[in-house]
Amino acid sequence: AQKVTQAQTEISVVEKEDVTLDCVYETRDTTYYLFWYKQPPSGELVFLIRRNSFDEQNEISGRYSWNFQKSTSSFNFTITASQVVDSAVYFCALKMLQTGANNLFFGTGTRLTVIP
């Protein structure tokens, strides 16, 4: 069975601090994709990044970086020098390619509050 765990329900940081959001996944598939989405207070779901299971290269995009470790089934997300606009709920999601399920499986989300 597949599962995405985001153990941190809520995190608060002071502006300019770095913060890491954890994501641990379970799947029997050897081919899959992992995603991060951001849901700001306005409610929309904004795509941030996609990673496939064969690509363990870490990625950096501005203040955002992602650490994919297949050995520990983790796909963690770090925001450097956090800003108030980063305040949102962040979802990690899994898409399997072998099982046949067509949809995304989401974690329960981490609510990040950046305090000015």
Of the two residues 54 and 116, which places its CB atom closer to other proteins in the complex? 54
Q: Choose which of 25, 86, 91, 94 interacts with other proteins (CB under 8 A).
A: 91
Task: Provide the mask over 16-55, with x wherever binding to other proteins is found by CB under 8 A and - wherever it is not.
Answer: -----------------x-x-x----xxxxxx--x-x---
Per the listing, tokens 């050897």 go with: 30
How would you write 4-73 as a 3-class SS string? EECCCCEEEEECCCCEEECCEEECCCCCEEEEEEEECCCCCCEEEEEEECCCCCCEEECCEEEEEEHHHC
71 touching other proteins, by CB under 8 A: no
Report in angstroms how near the CB of residue 16 gets to other proteins at its nearest.
29
